[in-house]
Structure 1
Amino acid sequence: MQTRPVTPRRESATGGTRSAGVDTAASERRRGRPQGPTPPAPNARDASPAQPGRFSLRSWRVRNRLFLLVCFPLIIAIGVAATRVNTLYQDRSHYQHARFQAGTASQVELLLLTIQQEREDAAICLANAKDNGACTGADDNSFYAQYEDAVNATSQAALALTPIAESVAQDTSYSEQLRTAAAEALGRAQDLASIRDVVTKDSAVFTVTFNAYTSVIDDVIAVISATSAGTSDQSITQDNQTLQALNSMIESESIAEVITDQVNYVQGALSPELVQSDQVSLLQDAQASYQSAYQNFQATATPSLVQSFNSTVSGPLVSGASAGVSAALNVVENSTSGTTGNNNQAWVNNTSNLSDTLINEDLPGTIGDLRSVQALAITQMMNDSQNLLNSADSDLYLNIGIIIAALLLSFLGTLLVARSLTRPLGLLRAAALEIAATRLPEMVRRLRDADAATADANSRVEPIPISSSDEIGEVARSFDEVHQQAVRLASEQAMLRANVNSMFVNLSRRSQSLVQRQLRLIDELENSEQDPDQLASLFKLDHLATRMRRNGENLLVLAGEEPGRKWSQAVRLLDVLRAGASEVEQYERVALHDLPDTNVVGRVVNDLVHLVAELLENATSFSAPETKVTVTANTLNTGGVMLEIEDSGIGMTPEELDDANERLANPPVIDVAISRRMGLYVVGRLATRHGIQVRLRRSAGGGITALVLVPSSLLAGVEGEQVPATELSATGVRNLGALPRRGVLPSESLPTYGDPLASSLGGARTLADAPPSGLGSAGPSEFDSEPSGSEPGRRALGQTGSIPSARAGDAPCERQLDVRQPLPPFAVPRPAP
């Protein structure tokens, strides 16, 4: 059962089950045999390639690589698309600001109108102040209330625009020019309070007051001019320029109105000495500014707006205003040049041309017409900015939609292409793994267990379900070809094994026939020999022949054949074990004890005897010759019987035990190694054939114990009774003594095959014929014949003689198994082939 360095090693005739579970080199080292040459170290080029790193592209799955491949152009496309969307969004923001500014332009124009009106009322109030005093109501100045109303209107308009101007000044999305203009306008609006204090509290000079108001008005006009800054659209720029031209014309007419009012009221209240020379330049600048603004308007305004201007700003009022302004300019120029000679009467005569119509109708009417055209220009500016904003929104949303659609199409296209690659690859991978792990091993197993005709019929393989004509399909077809070649090779091997098995069977049958004839010849010689020494030699020769016959039967097991004839009746377990012990060379070292009175069904008797003989052969061959091999049996609660064959060797390593038990549970395919370690394979095959479980374990005191579980289905009449004490030695152990002669088996316990078994053995002989070798009498033998038939079968269970009791002086069994060790779990064996 195991290797022992304390005794000379010998291979058993069957190769031994112990050696099959041990590494060959390790076993030969323990046996002291020379080992073969050490294989050379593998070449560096034969070594497996280094595994790629975790983050190496070679470690990535194909799906991830495809995703990475698409990411680069996709990121570039997203970047370009984001730039385009950002540009469109900036344009939309500019148009949105233009729409907002156009919407607030009317409020700014209202503020501009109120400031201009306040300036005019301040000039009139100052012109009617006594002694060049301030504009107050203390001196019954009737124009003070009118000035106060203008101040209140300006304050309300400025209050409405202040939050908007503050928001624009702080919002960085607006142009720098517009934010600066808004901030300056806010500051100048606060300066109005100081200007009003000068008008109402101090002695104000007309020119200073006029310039202060005009400076504020210019800052407000600058805000309107800056609304188009930062916008690249030509239509908004032209609309803004048109609005600026109209504002300039209105401001020019407003200045002319202030000058004429001043001259008119000075006529009745003041002396010509108070007329300042600055008024001449102011009025001249106003006329020049009007002409320049009119030309700009004609150049930038749309045809429809020009037509509206021509139809609106015309008629007697406009003509009268133009003539009146020229007359006022003449009066002022004469006053400042001294042509009147500082004569009040002459002043009055010169100013008589400035009629009330000019002051009260012509100039205000002209300014009103200009404001009407200005309202049309603001409306046009709002419509244009709104149309541009709508167009920008459409472009932005359209581009976003196109970009999203393009990205989705790219993603879906990439997904489809990736799936067309990864899905066949996944099918190929799954099919390859299934073939490698399930289908191919199952096919090989079926082919291994099939005959030649069945193996050839089962050599067709199912192709991998990939029908594409690309590289993946070609790999699938190539793998199908490899699969087919592997199955074909397995089929050829199965047919080869079938042929080899047939040769084994033929050779074994022939060898058994010759051995059977040899045994019969030895029987005849034994029957006629009277010399004890010669008879003992014949017994040894008989025993060797029996072992040769068992080797022949091993070939039948290797070939998967079963014995041609089987027992038809149950046989006692004791007789089966004795028959197995009688087939080993050192049978006298085998001790049987604690055996239940159990019968084994006839169909399994031959194989169980063979199995027990192989285990006993190993136990005696691989243990010290002075030790005993103990065989015990125990009845289990499940109805089966547990046999324990224990020796006293040094045992096996855990790895060797695991390998040996695996071979017992799952006998491998026949190869060259099986021929050298036949015993383990034969035991496993025989056990698998009948559902018997065999397992090796370490004994408590050293050595190996073979556990054989015979299921209840293979037993007949299990009574659970122990062998009577009268059949045991004084120590309670049944010892197998020296080489016995065959006795006679009672006829009622023999299997029947049509002929008396005794006659098939060629007679029987009694124990009296045995040589005087110190054997005790064990009574008549229970086996002495074998089944008859054309095909030689196993000799009768008692073919080498009955098992006598212990010889005088034999030592008792070294280890009684009165207390049983628990049985380790058995693996469920595979069905017999």
Structure 2
Amino acid sequence: MPSQSLRFKLYSLLSLPIVALIGLWTFVAGHVLGDFFELSTATAVFEEIGDPAGGLVSSLQKERRDSAVFLSSGQPDALRLANARRVTDQAVEQFRRTATGERASTVTTQEMRVAIDAVLDRTKGLSRLREKVDGKQSDRLETVQAYGAITDSVFRLYDQLITVPRVQLYQQAIGLQRIAHARDLISREDALISGAVMSGRLGHEEYEAIEVLAPNRQLLMGEGVAMLDTELRAPFERLVDGADNTRLGALEHEIVEEARLPRDTAAWQEVVTRLGPALDQLLDSRIQLLTGRSDDTAGAIITRIVVVGGLGLTAILVAVIWSVRLGRGLVEELDGLRGAATDVAEVRLPQLVERLRSGQTAEADTSSPIAVTTPTQEVRDLANAFESVRRTAVRAAVGQAELRQGLNRVFRNLARRNQSLVHRQLGQLDAMQRKTAEPDQLSDLFRLDHLTTRMRRQAEGLVILSGAPAGRQWRRPVQMLDVVRGAVAEVEDYLRVNVQPMPEATLTGGAAADVIHLLAELVENATVFSPPNTQVNISGELVGRGFAVEIEDRGLGMPDAERDELNRRLADPPEFDLADSDRLGLFVVGRLAVRHRIKVTLQRSAYGGTTAIVLIPSTLMTDPSGDLAHTHTD
């Protein structure tokens, strides 16, 4: 790399804020422009596609009701149905013309075009549906559901059309869309019940359909109203709390509870006749209000573009002038500091570090502070700060080494004391369990014994962190199934752990305690980082290089980068950092794995969670036909 002067570096350094300012200004201006174009696109999309789609839904709702009445009446009004179909055909043609037109193609995304094609494909089935209605080859419920499939495709299209960049506007649009969907469910209920009133009975399947439609309608209405702000929500709240909506809910409840038409069938027609148009009118007025807000937002964005552009350019010019003047004055003063800093960086600090590595004390360094001649007090202070930093770094390095040794001793001593107390407590609990025959007392003692076992594992973790052996030892080989069960017994949520059958395999007694601790830490992580209603599965099998144990949870998993980093740390554990205590269990796992040459790997499970694979080498496995250990020593 070619050499560069201090002047060049200083000006380069001063230019960084300017470049950053230019980049920030460009980003902000581009972001604001992006918001403007996205808002304009969202408005155009709704005008070209949303409006005709809404008209299509309204015409389909009317034709659906008239078709249900036609199928239910002894003397159907064919003219009324024909008029409804003509209006629907006009709405379909209007939607097809605008949604697939040249202007719409410039503002729609691939997802929107797929949703538009889905709506058009659904409308192609209208002819066959109408033939079945005319020939009364379809019952009332089948007809209502067929029309509902078309309107459902329109509402799925609505989900793609709501693309406003402002979160608040987006939330209001989603709320209105859900209310419109609730309105469509009212229309479906009305078609079924109006037809049932005409025929005099409500079929069992129709009752089941209303049993689903009614709560969904109430849920969509409640969620939609809750998502709106105060201005948009107020009229909907009055409508929801009004007599008509309350009466509608009561009639729905009567139908669902008694599985038949309401006693007062005329009340249903009266309520729906008033509530439906009122809801349509409210939706139209609120959509217009939200459109007005979008226009206001677009105007505010234009103002921001002008303000951001002007202020940003002014700030850039000021920054350039200030940087040139500042750099010219500082470059000469920094030349002197450069020489002193070079001496510290290339001579004095390397010598000091070398003495520390050779075992000499930091007090052996008696170099004088950095001294530079400069009229700028801050530059002189910087020189003194270099020296202070050097001395502080030396003291910190020595102190850190002494602290690390002291902490290891503290960990070991405290853990050993805790181990002694826990072992005594386990012995007393065992004696109490032998003397007690009461089931309730035995259950309490068992839970206390399980808690004490977990306390023992925590104490062993501290011993392992200090670099000492855990303390427990088995004299003879141990069955791998018993090792896994012993690990599960040390986990708080052990009831969620499912241990699958394993082949006959035994582990050397000297490694049993550490392998139990290692598996317990992994099982504990699996239970903690997965939903409480899921199971953690443990399986094991003999493989070419030893015995593999798989611990699989059904949690949310972790990002690939984080999992790769944890696998790296498990394979090569770094020096223990007190500040990184969140992954203490995995640090202990890494220590134990390195101690016994066990390979621990974290992978993504088939359920989206994490699978921990523990490969125990063949050197730790023994002949299963040998004597097995049933007791251990501490």
- Fold shared by both chains (TM-score > 0.5): no
Query: Hey, which of these two has a bigger chunk of helix by percent?
Result: 2
- Superposition TM-score, scaled by structure 2 size: 0.44
- Superposition TM-score, scaled by structure 1 size: 0.34
